[in-house]
């Protein structure tokens, strides 16, 4: 990007960020919550590091990475005070590539993956915080444990010495109707509360660019914002 284009894009990020913060605060007020309870995560897929660092400099210090290779190619360009969490589908053979670079893995959807994270963390002498991903909408196209299978996975994952289960994450169906969004997030919050009664947790990651206000109203502690912050994603064109 040329300097003028970068400056224009950076200003657009700041303008969008102010609006997102305003909407989060409004949703918190509606729900009787403190906005400080909600972490705004910047989702960085396909985004230029210059724009990511603009958000970091403006106070957004938690970044969400979807792809291992993209993360590895960009991480050295990020501000040092940026905390990176992995939120995408993670293959067990790539766990070792990110285990000492991220502060949390949000997308643990199987015992097999939990085992791989535990082994990799043990090799580094660390304990990795994780979230268990729940497929709250029962969509075949999405990862995540079925709600009925959550407690067995939670029990098994909590037994590993080198991971700590901090909470749950979900990617709900893409509803545009507020009532439909509310219904999905209410189910997820009820599941979180029931699971927390047996296994204390403090993190509920749900809500993205199109539905984060509803997620906040229903107890999200982390909202994952990409296009609403950085603009529409531009994917690289395949090479012929």
Query: Is the pLDDT assigned to residue 146 strictly greater than 80?
Result: yes
CA distance linking residue 76 with residue 30, whole number of Å? 40
* pTM to 2 decimal places: 0.94
d(CA 4, CA 120) in angstroms, rounded, equals: 44
Show Cβ contacts of residue 27 under 8 Å, excluding neighbours closer than 6 positions. 212, 213, 214, 216, 217
How far apart, in Å, are the Cα atoms of 85 and each of 22, 24, 78, 192?
24, 21, 13, 20
Q: Is the domain 3-230 a CATH 3.20.20.10 member?
A: yes
Instruction: Give the pLDDT band (50/70/90) at residue 236.
Output: low
Using CA atoms, how far apart are residues 186 and 214, in angstroms rounded to an integer?
9
Q: What is the pLDDT of residue 178?
A: 85
Sign of CA dihedral 18, 21, 23, 26: negative
**For residue range 211-226, what is the model confidence (pLDDT) as tens digits?**
999 999 999 999 999 9
Reported as a pLDDT band with limits 50, 70 and 90, residue 5 is confident
Domain-wise residue ranges, the chain: 3-230
The predicted-structure confidence for 74-107, as pLDDT tens digits, reads as follows: 999 999 999 999 999 999 999 999 999 999 999 9
d(CA 13, CA 51): 7
């Amino acid at each position: 990007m040329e300097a003028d284009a970068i400056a224009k894009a950076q200003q657009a990020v700041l303008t969008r960020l102010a609006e997102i913060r305003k909407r989060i605060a409004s949703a918190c007020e509606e729900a009787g919550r403190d906005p400080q309870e909600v972490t705004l995560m910047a989702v960085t897929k396909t985004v230029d590091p210059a724009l990511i660092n603009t958000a970091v400099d403006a106070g957004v210090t938690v970044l969400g990475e979807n792809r291992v290779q993209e993360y590895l190619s960009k991480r050295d360009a990020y501000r040092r005070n940026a905390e990176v969490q992995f939120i995408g589908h993670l293959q067990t053979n790539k766990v070792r590539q990110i285990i000492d670079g991220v502060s949390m893995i949000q997308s643990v959807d199987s015992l097999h993956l939990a085992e791989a994270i535990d082994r990799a963390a043990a090799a580094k002498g660390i304990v990795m915080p994780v979230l268990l991903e729940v497929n709250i909408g029962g969509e075949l196209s999405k990862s995540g444990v079925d709600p009925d299978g959550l407690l067995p996975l939670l029990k098994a994952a909590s037994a590993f010495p080198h991971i700590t289960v901090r909470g749950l994450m979900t990617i709900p169906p893409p509803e545009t109707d507020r009532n439909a969004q509310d219904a999905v997030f209410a189910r997820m919050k009820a599941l979180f509360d029931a699971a927390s009664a047996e296994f204390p947790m403090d993190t509920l990651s749900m809500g993205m660019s199109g539905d984060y206000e509803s997620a906040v109203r229903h107890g999200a502690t982390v909202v994952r914002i990409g296009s609403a912050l950085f603009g529409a994603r531009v994917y690289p064109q395949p090479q012929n």
